[in-house]
Structure 1
């Protein structure tokens, strides 16, 4: 009789922090405590792996000692990017441990360029990409004049960094009214030439700028569709204030603050049309277009939608404004169990 016990998988959850956080963070005091609990219930030994560039080699050795790695690190954090971390994760994945989300998958689906590459899917809009400062200077001004208010997005960012609403003003000198999506921002009227120069650094880190039409139903809120692999794990609805001018009292006034994100499970009736579109149409189409197989989809990611114009039947339509695959958190109550299920499937598959 074979008395060997089944293999118990080990996992590290990577997030940013300093040396004190690396010493003191445990599964019990981590912000991912519910994820740790769900993984433990699934028979997976999970440990925190606090990362910073200053002790990257210690993190590398830790990750090489586990079966799998989950990563929750923003593209930009206090001036730091993921450039060094992504190189580390590629090296770790090449040596054996399974990594989610893999940096190469993030570069396909977790950047703003995905809005351009998938613009012909049912979630798309009149989206354009500028690959250089010269192209941006030549193509954006006439488009702005002809098409009305636009939203510009740097390719890699988070928290509203590098996202601008831009409106042309009727001035003798070409002038635009711009509003940064970063919290606390105020509208500015600036010469068009000065704004174009302000955006040039985005071509360095991100490589391009993405241009979409401003969605008039923005005040109706944003729907965040949380995915675990190819299946919906829940929804969040939030009345956001980014790109909406603050009241006269200023950006710190209570009326200028975003509402709470109201979480819902995957079976929430008001979002079933969106769920069917995500699971049956848009995600499979995106995977085919971007050459991503299901086993490579992030264990947790989200697609952020704004309400588009209502269709002929009066039903809502949805316009994709972002995919988050680098650091998707907070998450619905149902998501940790979905994460644990997907992790178990991926680790078994990787072992095979």
Structure 2
């Protein structure tokens, strides 16, 4: 065992600090070093893939990926192939491509729509034809949210509703809406609203389907999102804290990202004990539906409030799981980087002691 962990990054991108790294990368590296292990950062480029494989496989026990797949020049395919080869060579992957795809892809919600975590009418479109054939009928049931698979910070996440509220109330559920139906479409990235026609808007959204891992998830709009989204941040199996993310007030705002003006309140897990307990109980169900309980190193689960139709009691609806490159720059003073380092080292030692 080398007692060494490499951290992958890519050059450039809006997530970088003035030193060229993500703000949370070097704190992870330093925390690993403080525990007596070696750690360093390497940058991925497609043309370096073979040299990176040789260097990393010969000198490290594990890798931590701090790469937003959307920031990789030329796409994620080559990067995922490198990580897969390293895992096959015996390195502990955190997170592996399979974990990123199983847990982090937006269609994880569709794979859970037979559980109490996600509304049963949640769907995914993997080709343009099925999207155009199905969405006009889906929208007849009420407001929807469309989510692209590749987006981050709310990009390509759209709240879609009929522009005329009276016309919306008169729609017969289950009927396909005409392509010239007037819509109001609000993007989560900054809460801006655009007036569109249904057919033209679907043509615009085709860009989210084409290409590697392209898809659109179609989910019921949850009105209580205005009360805030509740995010559990976990390091391995351990809930670290809960963030209550409340969208900006007024207008069509529904986005819970900092960029859009949402306000974040950080709570200890025990302050949301009912949610924490529910998620812990649901985790085996999540693993069963997503193909295995290889828990990501750093991951989040986002929930929205809903009402139980029978009792009126608050319930929680899963809106998203993230694990590709969860950032925690605002939480560095909480010492999360030390928890990440401890969990990463534990995984390597557990494998070598098995």
Counterpart in the other structure of 1:3: none
Distance 1:244 1:163, change over 3 A: farther
- Residue 238 (structure 2) pairs with residue 231 (structure 1): yes
Q: How many residues align?
A: 328
Distance 1:257 1:325, change over 3 A: closer
Counterpart in the other structure of 2:87: 93
**Matches of 1:179 and 1:127, distance apart in 2:** 19
> What is the aligned counterpart of 2:39 among 19, 37, 46?
46
Distance 1:25 1:96, change over 3 A: farther
**Partner SS state of residue 183, structure 2:** strand
> What is the aligned counterpart of 2:268 among 265, 270, 281?
265
Shift of 1:79: 6.9
> What is the aligned counterpart of 1:131 among 126, 131, 139?
126
Distance 1:244 1:93, change over 3 A: farther
TM-score of the two chains, using structure 1 as the length reference: 0.82
Shift of 1:69: 0.4
Distance 1:244 1:75, change over 3 A: farther
**Matches of 1:80 and 1:179, distance apart in 2:** 29
**Matches of 1:302 and 1:77, distance apart in 2:** 20
RMSD of aligned Cα (Å): 3.1
Shift of 1:40: 2.9
- Residue 147 (structure 2) pairs with residue 140 (structure 1): no
- Residue 243 (structure 2) pairs with residue 240 (structure 1): no
Shift of 1:313: 6.3
Q: In terms of mean alpha carbon deviation, does 112-121 or 162-171 score higher?
A: 162-171
The question of whether the paired residues in 2 share the 8 Å contact of 1:164 and 1:243 is answered with no
Counterpart in the other structure of 1:288: 288
**Partner SS state of residue 204, structure 1:** coil
Q: Equivalent residues in 2 for 1:125-274 (5 A)?
A: 125=119, 126-145=121-140, 147-170=141-164, 173-183=180-190, 186-205=192-211, 206-241=213-248, 245=252, 257-267=260-270, 269=271, 271-274=272-275
Shift of 1:314: 6.1
Provide structure 1 residue ranges, at least 5 long, that are not aligned to the other structure: 1-6
Distance 1:73 1:93, change over 3 A: same
Shift of 1:315: 4.8
Counterpart in the other structure of 2:171: none
TM-score of the two chains, using structure 2 as the length reference: 0.82
**Partner SS state of residue 81, structure 1:** coil
Distance 1:308 1:59, change over 3 A: farther
Shift of 1:123: 2.0
Distance 1:244 1:53, change over 3 A: farther
**Cα deviations by residue, 1:103-139 (Å, 9 ceiling, x for unpaired):** 0121111111001101233321231122321111111
> What is the aligned counterpart of 1:112 among 102, 106, 109?
106
Shift of 1:344: 2.3
**Partner SS state of residue 320, structure 2:** strand
Counterpart in the other structure of 1:4: none
The question of whether the paired residues in 2 share the 8 Å contact of 1:241 and 1:257 is answered with yes
Shift of 1:291: 2.5
The question of whether the paired residues in 2 share the 8 Å contact of 1:11 and 1:45 is answered with yes
Shift of 1:8: 5.9
Provide structure 2 residue ranges, at least 5 long, that are not aligned to the other structure: 168-177
